[in-house]
């Protein structure tokens, strides 16, 4: 049988990995796919570099439209990124009857509904394993391996840059700014790391996992997104003393809200018990914990970024598409795991209504009645204290830190209590609030 012809848009880090792994393992891949898979055409603005990488083994062009309009091309791999030209190219490839493989989480989390609908109408596949947690086959696991389950929640460390920063802050007691600089020097963090450190990248990935886990449309605009830029190393140290680690988690959870089933979709720094396996995922590694009603907890761990780990996911999609291309479209695995006419309109809970427990830290004057005032405010808000830690003031100091862990509380009640606490003359500066998850 003739090999499947693939067109690659963008031969940067992941594109190079894809090209190299596909060549290196071509025989294994052909035996698995049932046909050869050949990158026949590469489009990249830097044609000199693209030619060096591909070494004459395929056609190199500068114009991506030549690839999506070439009738010889069966599958287009989009590795350009962003929402602009990438969206136009993906939609054009679909309109031309080509299957698409993409690692572009930003595109799918924001325009996925439109893209999947177009693909559905045209009877082509849009595969995106590489868009979430790099080399970890989490899309496959959620969409196929766990298909028997009613998924209860998914919680993941799905951004390697921020996990590297948090690990270094904890290990070395360094502050956020200096670790970020080091992460940029090591090449973990982008020159503009905004999407990583502000939690946007993780929220894109959480949005996609939520859609597949619960059979809901992609709704990035409803996700709550908070990054790690305001996190202080003292909070990491206090959390440690209390038996917790702080991780940037992407959480998608099925809950009851005001008597109706709803979904929480949120990304924020989170205290998790240090004894959980996922709490011990360090450096740039990723991990996703999935709780299903039948299977219980399952944990997926691996490299969430990088040339060949991400290429591993891209090529897995190429093989899937090669195997399924001749199947009737209705017999293929649906893009978002659930049949398009069986999607749920279950609502995303506004963050103010979300219930979690909280870590609160406040700098206070060390004088009688301070603690009484604080606990009175919590009691008034019906917020129950689970644990408390007060540090002795340093020599000659008249201020100290109080750390309070609460039981489950609604976000809006905690925010109201924090506002009242901050208005006390004995509470100095802002109260730090970090959400907690037991993950059991
Ligand atoms: N920038 C991402 C991370 C990798 O740091 O995990 C690509 O999604």
Q: Beta 99-102 vs 126-127: how paired, if at all?
A: parallel
Identify the burial level of 36 via C-beta atoms within 10 angstroms of its C-beta, where 0-12 means exposed, 13-18 middle and 19 or more buried. middle
Same domain, 122 and 142: no
Q: Which two tokens stand for residue 33?
A: 């796919």
Q: What pLDDT is recorded for position 352?
A: 98
Q: What is the mean pLDDT of residues 143-150?
A: 98
Instruction: Tell me, in angstroms, the distance from the centre of ligand 1 to residue 43's CA.
Output: 23
Give me the chain's average pLDDT, please: 96
Q: Give the model's confidence band at 236: pLDDT under 50 very low, under 70 low, under 90 confident, else very high.
A: very high
Same domain, 123 and 198: no
Identify the burial level of 179 via C-beta atoms within 10 angstroms of its C-beta, where 0-12 means exposed, 13-18 middle and 19 or more buried. buried
Residue pLDDT, tens place only, 274-285: 999 999 999 999
Q: Which of 82, 134, 163, 209 to mutate to test the pocket of ligand 1 (most atoms within 8 A of CB)?
A: 134
Distance (Å) of CA 105 to CA 80, 140, 219, 266: 11, 16, 12, 16
29-38, 290-299, 392-401: segment of lowest average pLDDT: 392-401
Q: Are 227 and 199 in contact (CB under 8 A)?
A: yes
Same domain, 198 and 102: no
Q: Which residues are within 8 A (CB) of 292 and not within 5 positions of it... i.e. 6 or more apart?
A: 146, 148, 149, 150, 151, 152, 298
Q: What pLDDT is recorded for position 396?
A: 84
Residue 359 has pLDDT above 90, yes or no: yes
Instruction: Tell me, in angstroms, the distance from the centre of ligand 1 to residue 302's CA.
Output: 13
CA distance 388 to 370: 14
Q: What pLDDT is recorded for position 189?
A: 76
Q: What pLDDT is recorded for position 127?
A: 98
Show which of 127, 155, 186 is a domain's final residue.
127
Residue 241 belongs to some domain of the structure: yes
Backbone angles phi, psi at 151, to 5 degrees: -75, 130
Q: What is the mean pLDDT of residues 140-149?
A: 98
Q: Note down the domain range covering 50.
A: 4-127
Q: Which two tokens stand for residue 32?
A: 């698995």
Q: Which two tokens stand for residue 117?
A: 């609908």
Q: What pLDDT is recorded for position 393?
A: 83
Residue 317 belongs to some domain of the structure: no
Residue 212 has pLDDT above 80, yes or no: yes
Q: What pLDDT is recorded for position 191?
A: 77
Q: Give the model's confidence band at 394: pLDDT under 50 very low, under 70 low, under 90 confident, else very high.
A: confident
Angle ∠(211,217,220) on CA atoms, nearest 5: 80
Same domain, 396 and 287: no
Residue 313 belongs to some domain of the structure: no
Number of domains in the chain: 3
Show which of 260, 276, 302 is a domain's final residue.
302
Q: Which residues are within 8 A (CB) of 300 and not within 5 positions of it... i.e. 6 or more apart?
A: 133, 136, 137, 138, 141, 287, 288, 289, 290
Ligand 1 atom index nearest CA of 105: 8
Q: What is the mean pLDDT of residues 222-239?
A: 97
Residues with CB under 6 A from ligand 1: 159-161, 196, 201, 304-305
Same domain, 164 and 60: no
Comparing C-alpha atoms, which of 317, 310, 320, 321 is closest to residue 17?
310
Comparing C-alpha atoms, which of 196, 145, 405 is closest to residue 300?
145
140 is known as an active-site residue? no
In DSSP terms, 251 is beta-bridged to 155, 266
Instruction: Tell me, in angstroms, the distance from the centre of ligand 1 to residue 304's CA.
Output: 7
Show which of 101, 127, 153 is a domain's final residue.
127
Q: What is the mean pLDDT of residues 355-363?
A: 98
Q: Which of 10, 133, 160 to mutate to test the pocket of ligand 1 (most atoms within 8 A of CB)?
A: 160
Instruction: Tell me, in angstroms, the distance from the centre of ligand 1 to residue 123's CA.
Output: 31
Q: Which of 136, 196, 314 to mutate to test the pocket of ligand 1 (most atoms within 8 A of CB)?
A: 196
Q: What pLDDT is recorded for position 185?
A: 86
Residue 4 has pLDDT above 90, yes or no: yes
CA distance 111 to 82: 11
**Alpha helices (H) along 289-340:** 307-324
Q: What pLDDT is recorded for position 415?
A: 98
Q: State the angle between helix axes of 370-380 and 411-422 in degrees (0 to 180), rounded to the nearest 10.
A: 150
Q: Closest residue (by CA) to atom 8 of ligand 1?
A: 305
Q: Are 381 and 421 in contact (CB under 8 A)?
A: no
Residue 117 belongs to some domain of the structure: yes
Percent of the chain with pLDDT over 90: 93
């Amino acid at each position: 049988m003739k090999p499947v012809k693939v067109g690659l848009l963008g031969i940067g880090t992941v594109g190079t990995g894809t090209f190299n792994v596909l060549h290196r393992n071509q025989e294994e891949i052909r035996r698995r796919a049932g046909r050869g898979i050949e990158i026949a055409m590469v489009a990249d603005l830097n044609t000199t570099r693209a030619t060096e990488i591909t070494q004459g083994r395929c056609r190199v062009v500068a114009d991506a439209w030549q690839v999506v309009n070439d009738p010889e091309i069966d599958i287009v791999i989009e590795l350009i990124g962003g929402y602009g030209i990438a969206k136009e190219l993906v939609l054009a490839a679909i309109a031309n009857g080509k299957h698409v493989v993409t690692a572009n989480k930003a595109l799918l989390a924001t325009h996925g509904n439109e893209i999947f609908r177009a693909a559905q109408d045209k009877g082509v596949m849009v595969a995106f394993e590489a868009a979430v947690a790099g080399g970890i086959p989490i899309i496959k696991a959620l969409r196929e391996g766990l298909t028997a389950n009613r998924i209860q929640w998914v919680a993941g460390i799905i951004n390697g840059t921020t996990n590297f920063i948090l690990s270094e802050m904890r290990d070395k007691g360094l502050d956020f700014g200096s670790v970020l600089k080091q992460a940029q020097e090591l090449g973990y963090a982008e020159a503009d790391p905004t999407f990583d450190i502000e939690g946007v990248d993780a929220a894109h990935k959480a949005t996609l996992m939520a859609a597949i886990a619960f059979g809901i449309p992609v709704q990035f605009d409803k996700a709550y997104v908070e990054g790690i830029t305001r996190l202080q190393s003292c909070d990491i140290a206090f959390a440690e003393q209390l038996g917790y680690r702080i991780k940037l988690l992407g959480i998608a959870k099925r809950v009851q809200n005001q008597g109706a089933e709803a979904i929480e979709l949120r990304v924020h720094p989170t205290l998790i018990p240090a004894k959980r396996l996922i709490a011990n995922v360090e450096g740039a590694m990723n991990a996703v914990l999935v709780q299903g009603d039948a299977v219980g907890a399952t944990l997926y761990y691996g490299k969430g970024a990088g040339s060949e780990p991400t290429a591993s996911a891209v090529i897995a999609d190429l093989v899937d598409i090669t195997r399924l291309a001749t199947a009737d479209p209705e017999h293929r695995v649906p893009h978002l795991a659930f049949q398009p006419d069986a999607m749920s309109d279950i609502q995303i809970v506004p963050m103010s209504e979300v219930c979690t427990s909280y870590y609160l830290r406040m700098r206070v004057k060390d004088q009688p009645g301070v603690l009484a005032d604080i606990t009175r405010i919590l009691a008034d808000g019906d917020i129950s204290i689970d644990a408390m830690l007060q540090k002795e003031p340093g020599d000659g100091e008249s201020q100290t830190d109080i750390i309070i862990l609460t039981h489950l509380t609604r976000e809006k009640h905690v925010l109201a209590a924090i506002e009242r606490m901050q208005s006390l003359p004995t509470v100095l500066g802002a109260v730090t609030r970090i959400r907690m998850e037991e993950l059991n």
